[in-house]
Structure 1
């Protein structure tokens, strides 16, 4: 070394490595010339080992370029991983949104289908009720007779009462008069098939209310519809109270 000049450790080590390599090379040439192949191989391995040992002793500050390269690779790997994760998150979000949209569309379609079904059923029900009403006969359409059997009176009722209400109407008449159109309550004076009280109320349906069961049926049906919405509504009340 020269006085006053400081040579870095890496420079010294580098020089040593170069010197060792040079010596090894010269030795190898000499060895080849003298036919000593084994000596040459040993010298080369020794020189390589020394060089590796010397490089391992490179100060930390001199390793910065190598470390920077490694950090850059790690950063690239992390960035790629983050990008992949973000891409998967976007795809999953899109999938969930598509599923939710499909669910909402199905719910809307089901609701529309239900609405259309209910409208169709209501229309069919109305048509059926209209057809039933058209088939029903008015009290005036029956020929007046001097007397009627219970079977005849029931048949009149079947033709005048809506089919889905007939049984309820029949239940009440059976309880009130046993289908006898001239039945009269001796204590109250209630009269006829439906035991109108007083019997004169049935005059609103026809002047022949005493002798015509059709007139009594007409009045009874109007009374039940007006007070209980239907004969079945009247029958429900009758069962709870034994009167209507």
Structure 2
């Protein structure tokens, strides 16, 4: 086989291998992101609801950071090992029923419960974020 024939064969193989590697890497990046499930509202509408419920920008940003880390704004996120559920990863999940009977599917109910929890346990979402930043849970 001549060198030019080998180059013509090797170049497409290299391109395919590079594309496969890129696709695999992208897949791994998507796989490591929080799962997104269809809900009564999308993640952006859940964020808009939270923004309306938390008018103080510093408190909203702290709440946003926690929810982004905990569930990626997926109202149906479930931790397979602990059973924690929802935007704020309540454990047990049924605790959110104190905020409303639609806690399994309504981001507003989950946000209300999460805010109540953060305010009662830590004093504010910002204080909850400070704790989360150190411990990686809240």
Task: Give the paired residue count.
Answer: 99
Q: Max radius of gyration: which structure?
A: 1
| 1:172-217 alpha-carbon deviations (Å, 9 max, x no partner) | 0000000000000001000000000010000000000001000000
Corresponding residue for 1:222? Answer: 116
Give the gaps of 5 or more residues in structure 2: 1-38
DSSP-derived class of the 1:165 partner: helix
Is 1:162 the equivalent of 2:55?
yes
Q: Does 1:152 align with 2:45?
A: yes
Of Structure 1 and Structure 2, the greater helix share is in 1
Higher relative contact order (CA 8 A, sep 6+): 2
Q: Deviations over 1:67-116 (max 9, x none)?
A: xxxxxxxxxxxxxxxxxxxxxxxxxxxxxxxxxxxxxxxxxxxxxxxxxx
What is the Cα deviation at residue 162 of structure 1?
3.2
> Does 2:95 correspond to 1:201?
yes
Select 1:234's aligned residue among 103, 128, 137: 128
Q: Which residue of 2 aligns with 1:105?
A: none
Q: CA RMSD in A?
A: 0.9
If the length of structure 2 is used for normalisation, what is the TM-score?
Answer: 0.70
Q: State the match for 2:28 in structure 1.
A: none
Give the 4+ runs in structure 1 shifted more than 3 A. none
TM-score by length of 1: 0.40
